[in-house]
Amino acid sequence: MTEVKNEKSPTKKQYFKNFLKYRFLLWELIKKNIKLQYRNSILGVFWTFLQPLLTMIVLTLVFGGIFGRGKGMVNYPIYLLCGRLIFDFYSQATKKAMRSVVSNASIVKKVYVPKYIYPLSSVVSTFITFSISLTVLIFVMGYFNIFTPQKVEITPYILLAIVPILILLLLCIGIGMLLATLEVFFRDIEYLYDVFCMLLFYMTPVFFVVEDMRLSRKMEMVLMANPLYSIVSMFRSCVLYGQMWNWNWFYYSLGVSIFFLIIGVFAFYKKQDKFILHL
Amino acid sequence: MAEPVIQVENVSMMFNLNNEKIDNLKEYMIKMATGKLRYNEFWALKDINFTVEKGDRLGVMGLNGAGKSTLLKVIAGVMKPTQGKVNVKGVIAPMIELGAGFDPNYTGAENIFLYGATMGYSRKFIQSKYDEIVEFSELEEFIDVPLKNYSSGMKARLGFAIATAVSPEVLILDEVLSVGDAKFRKKSEAKLRGMIDTGITVLFVSHNTSQVRKICNKAIILQKGQIIESGDVDEVCDKYTEMINK
């Protein structure tokens, strides 16, 4: 059921009112995404912990010998886990958001709903599963601190880990809305983006350390231009090294995230009335 | 007394009809490079003007492709008109496609809340209507079964029960009077009649003149996106019959 949304240019107040009206839908969709993800698996929520844990073990076995011996390396498994959790959240959230409008085409075509609800709910529900999966990090850190000599120093800075996560959330919403818009018009963006994500995985220091690679200055600059580099590095500063981050990372990643947020929201807003003609 | 509920002013709707539908980047690039990117303009609605007053029941008739569904979608806010303006006062219940917001992996009960939220209602509100919905849809036994195991008739019943559980100001009916089996159809017709009798505004799309005569008091005929006839239901229905028989 709809109230009127047909005026040429709804005011900000109307947008806000409309959001309030549909906040229940946002909530229902978030709940649905999370519920259905676990409904048909025996291990249920347990997978959220098991999957990062298993990839951490595999990657440690594969790359531990090569990359795990740098002089600054405190604890390679935790180094890996931090990188992987952050990267996985980024890639899953943006991929789900990308498909969200197209996969809900049957609703968008027939009932009025504010369309941004779909990419937004995809990102937020992925964010919630990501938050749950962070507990695995706590367990692994506890394990290393209690049972092994490879201790990780835990300082109050660990509380600041929320900052890079929130920056990442902004980035995901922005990129997600941009991709969702593109996906409506060009379905093959999906394949291009899959390949792009693979490239991004190798460009993000998930299993290697940029500073230890002895790359040319130019190559290093390319890797550092990736906002995920700054976000992962900030996260590791807080969690693994227990110190304040390099502020350049903060300014850069926040700047890039806000830039993409503006681009994404703008593209979505400009094109949303055309969606129905292409679904 | 006569208070306009729906105002449609100079509404036109244009579609770009491509010779072939392009929905991927590869084809788009190829077409652009070879200069084959052409669009044919198609006006599904041309300069539509009408007002529906409170309590009016307006029948919208026309042959296939006349623009009826487009008009309803524009009024329901699903599509934005290329030109013109639509003003609707109050809550619209667009019963254009029942069950459009259902998720097949969700149970019936969960879908009631999901569909309610899709229509913009709060959880609390749906909770208060929940028993009524389940009772009307006659799905008590199956309410905790995933929707993918429902028959199409059961889904339609659930959709109808949710859509009519609320009391909207404007009801849009797009030939939904044929929901479920004969028994349920009777029940749903009675329910709709009850809603109509309370004085809500109705937009009804149909080919069937006898149904239109039964429900509506006014009617319009659309042809190629334009209103060619409007006025009292009996006059317009006679004209429509004449038009078909020609």
What domains does chain B contain, in order, with CATH numbers?
4-245 (3.40.50.300)
Q: Which of B25, B29, B48, B122 to mutate to test the interface with A (most CBs of A within 10 A)?
A: B25
Taken as a whole, chain B contains a residue count of: 246
DSSP structure class, residue B17? E
Of A176-190, B5-19, B162-176, give the lowest mean pLDDT range: B162-176
Which pLDDT does position A7 carry in this prediction?
A: 42
pLDDT above 50 (res A162): yes
Q: Which residues of A touch B81 (CB under 8 A)?
A: 6
Q: Evaluate whether residue A20 is within a structural domain.
A: no
Tell me which chain A residue has its CA closest to the CA of residue B29. A186
Chain B residue with CA closest to A34: the answer is B106
User: Mapped to the 3 state alphabet, what secondary structure does A115-170 carry?
Assistant: CCHHHHHHHHHHHHHHHHHHHHHHHHHHHHHHHCCCCCCCCHHHHHHHHHHHHHHH
For A102, the token pair is 């197209």
Give the lowest-confidence range in A1-10, B98-107, B145-154, B206-215: A1-10
Binary contact (A111, B118; C-beta < 8 A) = yes
A249 within domain boundaries: yes
Mean pLDDT taken over chain B: 83
End-to-end Cα distance, chain A: 21
Size of interface A-B (CB pairs under 8 A): 115
Domain count, chain A: 1
Q: How far apart are CA A165 and CA B212, in angstroms?
A: 58
Query: In A, which residues are within 8 Å of B88 by CB distance?
Result: 2-4, 6
Residues 6+ positions from B150 with CB-CB distance below 8 Å? B108, B142, B158
Q: Give the residue among B186, B195, B231 at the shortest CA–CA distance from B215.
A: B195
Enclosing H/E stretch for B12: strand B4-17
Q: What percent of chain B has pLDDT over 90?
A: 9
What percentage of chain B has pLDDT greater than the value 70? Answer: 91
What's the pLDDT tens digit per position in A55-108? 999 999 998 888 877 777 888 999 999 999 999 999 999 999 999 999 998 888
Residue A99 lies in a domain: yes
Residue A7 lies in a domain: no
Per-residue pLDDT reduced to its tens digit, A230-254: 999 999 999 999 899 999 999 999 9
Would you call B118 and A107 a contact, using CB atoms and an 8 Å cutoff? yes
**DSSP assignment, residue B147?**
G
ipTM of the complex: 0.84
Tell me if A151 is assigned to some domain: yes
The SS3 assignment for A68 reads coil
Q: How far is A179 from chain B (nearest CA, A)?
A: 13
Instruction: Kindly state whether residue A140 falls inside one of the protein's structural domains.
Output: yes
Chain B environment of A29 (Cβ under 8 Å):
114, 117
Question: Residue A11: inside a domain, yes or no?
Answer: no
pLDDT in tens, B58-77: 988 888 888 888 888 888 88
* Domain hosting residue A237, numbered range: 30-35+42-278
Structure tokens at A262: 């503006």
User: What is the structure's pLDDT at A268?
Assistant: 95
In three-state form (DSSP H/G/I as H, E/B as E, the rest C), the secondary structure along chain A is CECCCCCCCCCHHHHHHHHHHHHHHHHHHHHHHHHHHHHCCCCCCHHHHHHHHHHHHHHHHHHHHHHCCCCCCCCHHHHHHHHHHHHHHHHHHHHHHHHHHHHCHHHHCCCCCCCCHHHHHHHHHHHHHHHHHHHHHHHHHHHHHHHCCCCCCCCHHHHHHHHHHHHHHHHHHHHHHHHHHHHHHCCCHHHHHHHHHHHHHHHCCCCCCHHHCCCCHHHHHHHHCCHHHHHHHHHHHHHHHCCCCCHHHHHHHHHHHHHHHHHHHHHHHHHHHHHHHHC
Q: Does residue A63 lie in a domain region?
A: yes
